[in-house]
Amino acid sequence: MRRYSVLALLRESLTGHRGWERAWEDATPKSEYDVVIIGGGGHGLATAYYLAGQHGITNIAVLEKGWIGGGNTGRNTTIVRSNYLWDESARLYDHAVKLWEGLTDDLNYNVMFSQRGVLNLAHTLGDVREGQRRVNALQLNGVDSEWLDTAAVKRFCPPLDVGAHARYPVLGGTLQRRAGTARHDAVAWGYARAASARGVDIIQNCEVTGLVRDGARVTAIDTSRGRIRAGKVGMAVAGHSSVLADMAGFRLPVESHTLQALVSEPIKPVLDCVVMSNAVHVYVSQSDKGELVIGAGIDEYLSYAQRGSFPVIEHQMGALLALFPSFSRLRMLRSWGGTVDISPDASPIIGRTPIDNLYINCGWGTGGFKATPGSGHVFAHTIARGEPHPLAAPFALDRFTSGRLIDEHGAAAVAH
């Protein structure tokens, strides 16, 4: 892999940029791998990268049914934060934020991680109490977090309407300054390039159609490009997790729903932070291209269609205009949906399955982009060692039997 640098850019500019090599190898499947990762989203690609880089396993394939990053990784609103209430979540998500902070250098690929700050608004006395409690819990866990009163909110985010006449009065907010956004495609491409350089085969247009079992082990994987034998298998297929689990003969506590997002026409910089409101239910940031990126909650009914319904969009636009009346003249450019895997406690599932050599990473639902580096890192460890990484251990599938849930619904109650 030739390194990207200012020098390389200058050199290439002299020769009309004809010397750049492919960022990563489009591999054809071999007949056998030590580890096969199913799903070429950010989580699967990151897992392969850390397996190859930190655990000395290099005979690895990532199987992706479409194109890498074409699932939720390429469809999300890119908010990265770690202000989760419970100890287990705060540790896991903050592990990810720390990796984000060095990711561009680590991958030699600009993932455009922008720590512009995420502001969570409080509109009721209940919101205020919950927000302040969360700030305290986060500080105890060593995660940066502060409480802003109404005037400080206005200073931090001037376009926000905090006036007394506002439909939803702003009584304050929590701020995580280390939080922000990153470039979603770059995360998939950067991990793919770095993994490929370490010998990982990235195989696109390769849909897994069945798992061949010998007792409690998977021995091979049937794909649209033939049968592939595997020593260990890790699945990171987000909204399709139940479909894969069904092939392996077990059920999962997740439901697949559509989560939609939309962007406005590009405008000059107006918003230099991320604003989220759980109560009014919308979140918004401005992309580097100038578009407002707007999201909210899932469609209520189960769906694999990657297509949502209009009432949800109408609701989130109403919420946006209540917070930012000045956006009322903006036209919306396009909307889209992704299939997200919602777990009962809004926390991910990472670890072993009833099948000995099959490992699972799913249940990230509406908020797994932020965790991409951390998720790949702990999942790689879990697969390589055959036992959970300490940060992943509380998130095992058996918590639904033991009753030890990590109930982040109460803590966040909003999609992001």
Ligand X SMILES: Cc1cc2nc3c(=O)[nH]c(=O)nc-3n(C[C@H](O)[C@H](O)[C@H](O)COP(=O)(O)OP(=O)(O)OC[C@H]3O[C@@H](n4cnc5c(N)ncnc54)[C@H](O)[C@@H]3O)c2cc1C
CB of 167 to another protein, least distance (A): 21
Stretch that binds another protein, among 91-99, 101-109, 164-172, 253-261 (CB under 8 A): 253-261
CB of 312 to ligand X, least distance (A): 11
Counted residue by residue, the chain has a size of: 416
Q: Phi and psi for 75 in degrees, rounded to 5? A: -120, 0
Q: Is the dihedral of CA 117, 120, 125, 126 positive or negative?
A: negative
3 state DSSP class of 284: strand
List the single partner that 305 binds among another protein, ligand X, none, CB under 5 to 8 Å by kind. Answer: another protein
Query: How distant, in Å, are the alpha carbons of 212, 219, 227, 383, 398 from that of 215?
Result: 10, 10, 18, 20, 20
Stretch that binds another protein, among 166-174, 238-246, 271-279, 318-326 (CB under 8 A): 238-246
List the single partner that 231 binds among ligand X, another protein, none, CB under 5 to 8 Å by kind. Answer: none
List the single partner that 255 binds among another protein, ligand X, none, CB under 5 to 8 Å by kind. Answer: another protein
395-398 contacts at long range (C-beta below 8 A, 24 or more positions apart): 395/88, 395/92, 395/347, 395/348, 395/349, 395/350, 395/351, 396/349, 396/350, 396/351, 396/352, 397/252, 397/349, 397/351, 397/352, 397/353, 397/360
Q: How many residues bind ligand X (CB under 6 A)?
A: 39
Pairing of strands 118-122, 180-181: unpaired
User: Among residue numbers 173 through 202, which ones bind another protein (CB under 8 A)?
Assistant: none
Examine residue 62 and tell whether it contacts ligand X (CB under 6 A). Answer: no
Examine residue 366 and tell whether it contacts another protein (CB under 8 A). Answer: no
User: What dihedral angle (degrees, nearest 10) is formed by the CA atoms of 124, 126, 129, 133?
Assistant: -120
Q: Which of 8, 151, 216, 302 binds another protein (CB under 8 A)?
A: 302
Examine residue 255 and tell whether it contacts another protein (CB under 8 A). Answer: yes
Q: Which of 70, 253, 290, 325 binds another protein (CB under 8 A)?
A: 253
Q: Which of 234, 295, 351, 363 binds ligand X (CB under 6 A)?
A: 295
Residue type, 76: N
Examine residue 271 and tell whether it contacts ligand X (CB under 6 A). Answer: no
Examine residue 118 and tell whether it contacts ligand X (CB under 6 A). Answer: no
- Please name the helix (run of DSSP H) or strand (run of DSSP E) that holds residue 314, with its range, or none: helix 310-323
Tell me which residue of 324, 79, 273 sits closest to 157, measured CA to CA: 273
Residue type, 400: F
Examine residue 210 and tell whether it contacts ligand X (CB under 6 A). Answer: no
List the single partner that 344 binds among ligand X, another protein, none, CB under 5 to 8 Å by kind. Answer: another protein
Count CB neighbours of 315 within 10 A: 15
Q: Which of 138, 252, 274, 358 binds another protein (CB under 8 A)?
A: 252
231 CB-near residues (< 8 Å, 6+ apart): 33, 34, 35, 357
Examine residue 256 and tell whether it contacts ligand X (CB under 6 A). Answer: no
Examine residue 381 and tell whether it contacts ligand X (CB under 6 A). Answer: no
**Cβ pair 198, 210 in contact under 8 A:** no
**Of the two residues 9 and 216, which places its CB atom closer to another protein in the complex?**
216
Query: How distant, in Å, are the alpha carbons of 24, 38, 137, 309 from that of 223?
Result: 22, 10, 46, 32
CB of 244 to another protein, least distance (A): 10
Q: Which of 13, 31, 328, 402 binds another protein (CB under 8 A)?
A: 402
List the single partner that 83 binds among ligand X, another protein, none, CB under 5 to 8 Å by kind. Answer: none
**Of the two residues 162 and 357, which places its CB atom closer to ligand X in the complex?**
357
Tell me which residue of 236, 257, 256 sits closest to 353, measured CA to CA: 236
Examine residue 400 and tell whether it contacts another protein (CB under 8 A). Answer: yes
**Cβ pair 120, 277 in contact under 8 A:** yes
**Of the two residues 251 and 289, which places its CB atom closer to another protein in the complex?**
251
**Cβ pair 276, 323 in contact under 8 A:** no
Write out the residues near another protein by the rule CB under 8 A. Answer: 240, 242-243, 251-256, 300-305, 307, 309-311, 344, 400-403
Write out the residues near ligand X by the rule CB under 6 A. Answer: 38-44, 63-66, 70-73, 75-79, 207-208, 236-238, 240, 259-261, 295, 338, 340, 364, 366-370, 416
